[in-house]
Amino acid sequence: MKKSWIIIGIVIIFIIICYASIKSTYNNMVRLDESVSESWGQVQNVYQRRLDLIPNLVNTVKGYATHEKSTLQAVVEARAKATGINIDPSKLDANSLQKFQQAQGALSSALARLMVVVEKYPDLKANQNFLELQAQLEGTENRIAVERKKFNEAAKNYNTYTRSFPANIFAAMFNFTRKAYFEAEQTANKAPEVKF
């Protein structure tokens, strides 16, 4: 009789230890997943800030550079495409993140072309509204870089934890999938060509 109580006690202790281990691992995966979602929200927040600045920038430039319609139109179209791509944080895979990056890259490219056009208009470059918008846009670009870095760090922490043993067993069991990272654009590995 005493032996059976010892066996029952050992089984109960084993079940408690297994339960505590699974609970702890699962809760850590949830915490790290929420951290990735929070970081993604911040990334979207700073990209939205940039999108909100663009109409004011375009309207300011439009007043000075009326015959630069194609450049202004390209910025407006790129903004519309970038606005149209929304990603659910729970479905942050490499493909959806790449589409998001492509749309944002096209917008950055259109904005760069707009800034080149602005160089032709000294009155516009001296306009206080334009200077403030340009400073806000530059600050936003810096914020974007910072938030993308924070997102990658959160994704790395999550991926590392969910791919480590024994958490990887529970991650597969509870469908915690790998998160994608922001990566440099394909053209970033080529040095720009400078001609004089």
pLDDT at residue 194, rounded to an integer? 38
- Residue 185, by phi and psi: left (phi above 0), alpha (psi -120 to 50) or beta? beta
Rounded mean pLDDT, 54-64: 81
Q: pTM for the whole thing?
A: 0.77
Distance CA 124, CA 114 (A): 12
DSSP codes of every residue in 101-125: HHHHHHHHHHHHHHHHHHTT-HHHH
Domain range summary for the chain, segments of one domain joined by +: 50-181
Q: What is the pLDDT of residue 67?
A: 63
Q: Give residue 169's pLDDT.
A: 92
Contact partners, residue 65, CB within 8 Å, separation at least 6? 71, 72, 117, 118, 120, 121, 124
Q: Return the higher-pLDDT residue of 153 and 72.
A: 153
- Name the residue among 147, 78, 139 with its Cα closest to residue 113: 78
Q: Given a cut of 70, is residue 52 above it in pLDDT? A: yes
Q: How confident is the model at residue 162 (pLDDT cuts 50, 70, 90)?
A: very high
